[in-house]
Amino acid sequence: MINYYKPRRLDNAEFLRKTNGILDSCYFTNAGPNVAELERRIAAALGVEHCIAVCNATIGLQLVLKALDLSGEVITTPFSFVATSHAILWQGLTPVFCDIAPETLTLSTVEVEKLITPRTSAILGVHVFGSLCDVKRLQQIADAHHIRLIYDAAHCFMTRYKDTYVGNFGDAEVFSFHATKIFHTFEGGAIVTNNTELSKKIRLMKNFGFQGIDTVNYIGINAKMNELSAAYGVALLPYMNETIERLRYLQRQYRMRLNGVNGLRFFEKDSSIEANDQYLAVFIDKSQYGISRDKLWAYLWSNGIESRRYFHPGLHMCQPYRTTMPGLKDRLPNTGKITSEVLCLPCYFDLRDDQMELICELIRNAPQNIETIDDLFNDLITSDDVDNQMQNIAAVLRNEYNEK
């Protein structure tokens, strides 16, 4: 298999040196020196005043929502990972799904304004594939209606808009440091903000609400990052520029090799954005390409190439939202179209050039094998049990590979 993503491996020496120090000190958690160093370095790199490391980005979103004392409704996007809307529900809030702008794949500011009611307390935008929300317009809307503005920035660590790094927008932004991200701490995340009072509150809340040894001032939770995770992040952070340069090279090569493929279009970001280039997203137009995005996806998997239909089928079509919010399918046309066409291809530091060429060759040649692909995957794609069937295909491929 060519994985969709692999975390970058480091020279182990630096991390193991830090690991030995952690083991020798017996200081494993509770805001240890590695967590403090990671927070300082991230804040300095992004030019933000405060960085709070947490155990994962989902908990980070929940902490921000809780710390802002929100109630009622939060306007958000259906074009995201389920953690975004789940975090809203976990806090007893109601997610209100807003359609996306097809050019940016982020919240349509026109539609956001239509959805604001007296029950709206916040907007939770999501930066997607290195493409930013319209941060200027969303801030104007939030200010005009006296509501909060939060960003899920899981895709945008070390991404800049003009001269400003992501992390400096809204009331707070939340990064994911999961192993599938360009920068990771095995599991983890960070909340960044320029609001000093908010940062103080979140720091207390991530440790059960304790202020001091025995005094509890807030309803908190255990959201702390451990020292081993932070140590890996400290060791990885200096490699970010080198990693991003490799990803930019891969992006250029993909574009060169797939240029001119009829019915395939690359996702284009605004020229004012300098992204980390982790995400290589293309759109498949069946009428021109000859086969659907889903059949191309299945065809690549059957040839040992992992790809992702991010974010299929859209949060509004997942449970429990599909049942509790009926009718959204017809009210979110841009999201519906994009989720049926977009495909993310492997793009990571250790992806070899020959592997990338194989991926491109399969994509270039797929339209010439329409009948074969239709025969192979017609039943699969029309089934309601696609995920399980894809797992079965992957298992068969692994068995065949092992036998060879």
Q: Which two tokens stand for residue 28?
A: 């494993």
Indicate if the pLDDT at residue 362 is higher than 90. Answer: yes
* pLDDT value of position 84: 98
Mean pLDDT of the 380-393 span: 61
* pLDDT value of position 253: 98
* pLDDT value of position 403: 64
In the numeric block, the tokens 């696609």 are attached to 386
Indicate if the pLDDT at residue 194 is higher than 60. Answer: yes
* pLDDT value of position 149: 99
Indicate if the pLDDT at residue 17 is higher than 60. Answer: yes
* pLDDT value of position 176: 98
- Say if residues 97 and 333 touch (Cβ distance below 8 Å): no
Q: Which of 139-148, 301-310, 368-377 has the lowest mean pLDDT?
A: 368-377
Other CB atoms closer than 10 Å to residue 225's CB: what's the count? Answer: 28
Amino acid at 316: H
Q: Where does the pLDDT of residue 87 fall: very low under 50, low under 70, confident under 90, or very high at 90 and above?
A: very high
Picking from 326, 350, 46, 19, the residue whose alpha carbon sits closest to that of residue 169 is: 46
User: Residue 124 and residue 149: Cα distance in Å, rounded?
Assistant: 6
CATH topology of domain 241-403: Aspartate Aminotransferase, domain 1 (3.90.1150)
- pLDDT one-digit tens code per residue, 163-193: 999 999 999 999 999 999 999 999 999 999 9
Higher pLDDT, 378 or 134: 134
* pLDDT value of position 300: 94
User: Residue 138 and residue 134: Cα distance in Å, rounded?
Assistant: 6
* pLDDT value of position 392: 67
* pLDDT value of position 402: 63
Q: Where in the chain is the domain with CATH 3.90.1150.10?
A: 241-403
User: Residue 148 and residue 386: Cα distance in Å, rounded?
Assistant: 39
* pLDDT value of position 390: 63
Four-point Cα dihedral 342, 343, 349, 352, nearest 10: -140
Other CB atoms closer than 10 Å to residue 122's CB: what's the count? Answer: 24
* pLDDT value of position 376: 78
Indicate if the pLDDT at residue 384 is higher than 70. Answer: no
* Domain 12-239 CATH assignment equals 3.40.640.10: yes
pTM attached to this predicted model: 0.94
- pLDDT one-digit tens code per residue, 216-274: 988 999 999 999 999 999 999 999 999 999 999 999 999 999 999 999 999 999 999 99
* pLDDT value of position 74: 98
Indicate if the pLDDT at residue 335 is higher than 80. Answer: yes
Cis peptide before 118 (omega within 30 of 0): no
* pLDDT value of position 302: 87
* pLDDT value of position 10: 82
Q: Where in the chain is the domain with CATH 3.40.640.10?
A: 12-239
Mean residue pLDDT of the chain comes to 94
Indicate if the pLDDT at residue 401 is higher than 60. Answer: no
* pLDDT value of position 382: 54
- pLDDT one-digit tens code per residue, 288-325: 999 999 999 999 998 999 999 999 999 999 999 999 99
At residue 384's C-alpha, the angle toward residues 382 and 386, to 5°, is 80
User: Residue 280 and residue 344: Cα distance in Å, rounded?
Assistant: 5
Share above pLDDT 70 across residues of the chain, in percent, rounded to a whole number? 94
